[in-house]
Amino acid sequence: MSRKEVIEILKKEEQHWVGDGFLVSSMFSPNHRLSEYLSPFLLLDYASPKEFSKTNLRRGVGVHPHRGFETVTLAYKGEVEHRDSSGGGGIIKEGDVQWMTAGSGLVHEEFHSKEFSNQGGDFEMVQLWVNLPKQFKMTEPRYQGVKETQFERIELSDGVDMKIIAGSYKTHQGSFKTYSPINIYDLCLKNASCAEIQLPKMTNSLILVRRGSIKVGQKEIKAGELAIFERDGDLIALEAMQSSELLMLNGEPINEPIFSYGPFVMNSKQEILQAIDDYNSGNMGKFPSSLP
Ligand code: MN
């Protein structure tokens, strides 16, 4: 086994609103200068913990399209309600995860759930965009929702708990189907605990620290920071400087050209123009009239 070192730490950027429900920092987005080390992940928006007052309004983001990739929403606090034109939808609550394959295209909306809006409270969420290999960009849309209690969990070492969201860890399986090799784990570490995480060779790996602070080699990664690792090596060794919570992303890079424009991520400019055309002519799914 050889250790992977951190090549760069991205800090939380200035926050911006997505609709009126999600105050996020885009930790990275398509065409980032380090995108070869981020692939297959295209974007990570982090809505760090924020308290929302109670309201009767629907806070969130209204109908908009996507094509050519997948959106993965992880609710850590609060509740997100989602509907899309392919018939997918549901409410994800604390610890639940939603995996929406936009594929050939759909339109959807994302709001705080009615119940959460009425009560108010703490809200924390991550939304990831996961690229699709060229051969799957126009696949049928798909919706997968998994509840907190359904995930497999393991105690990695003393004081270190792993929740396997996607992919696998050793003999333990994640809960989502993916179109390319991806592993996603939530890690919870007690103060001063240490973990060694084994990862497949020559894959990309990222860690978002949500709470606390960890050390990898000589580098400290604090809450709201995202560490990017080198591809070499097959082991990440980390030490918790205090009680910490992390999101770990790992995947085989997709070495294909990326053309992105707003909500569309394709392989060529021609495909982007086609996506815009299809959306404008109503061929990307209708909403809400096409819902059952
Ligand atoms: Mn969206």
The one-digit pLDDT tens for each residue of the chain (292 residues) are 899 999 999 998 899 999 999 999 999 999 999 999 999 999 999 999 999 999 999 999 999 999 999 999 999 999 999 999 999 999 999 999 999 999 999 999 999 999 999 999 999 999 999 999 999 999 999 999 999 999 999 999 999 999 999 999 999 999 999 999 999 999 999 999 999 999 999 999 999 999 999 999 999 999 999 999 999 999 999 999 999 999 999 999 999 999 999 999 999 999 999 999 999 999 998 875 444 4
Question: What CA–CA distance (Å, rounded) separates 129 from 174?
Answer: 18
Task: Look up residue 208 and give its two tokens.
Answer: 């978002």
pLDDT at 95: 98
CATH of domain 6-251: 2.60.120.10
237 within 8 A of 169, measured Cβ to Cβ:
no
pLDDT at 12: 86
Please, which residues have CB within 8 angstroms of residue 123's CB and are 6 or more apart in sequence? Answer: 47, 49, 50, 51, 52, 77, 78, 112, 116
18 C-alpha to ligand 1 centroid (Å)? 9
106 C-alpha to ligand 1 centroid (Å)? 10
Residue ranges of the domains in the chain? 6-251
119 C-alpha to ligand 1 centroid (Å)? 24
CB atoms within 10 A of CB 219: 14
Burial 261-271 (b: 16+ CB within 10 A, else e): eebbbbbeeeb
Which residue ranges are tagged as binding site for Fe cation?
Answer: 64, 66, 108, 110
pLDDT at 288: 59
Q: Indicate the pTM of the whole model.
A: 0.96
pLDDT at 215: 98
Please, which residues have CB within 8 angstroms of residue 149's CB and are 6 or more apart in sequence? Answer: none
138 C-alpha to ligand 1 centroid (Å)? 17
122 C-alpha to ligand 1 centroid (Å)? 21
Please, which residues have CB within 8 angstroms of residue 289's CB and are 6 or more apart in sequence? Answer: none
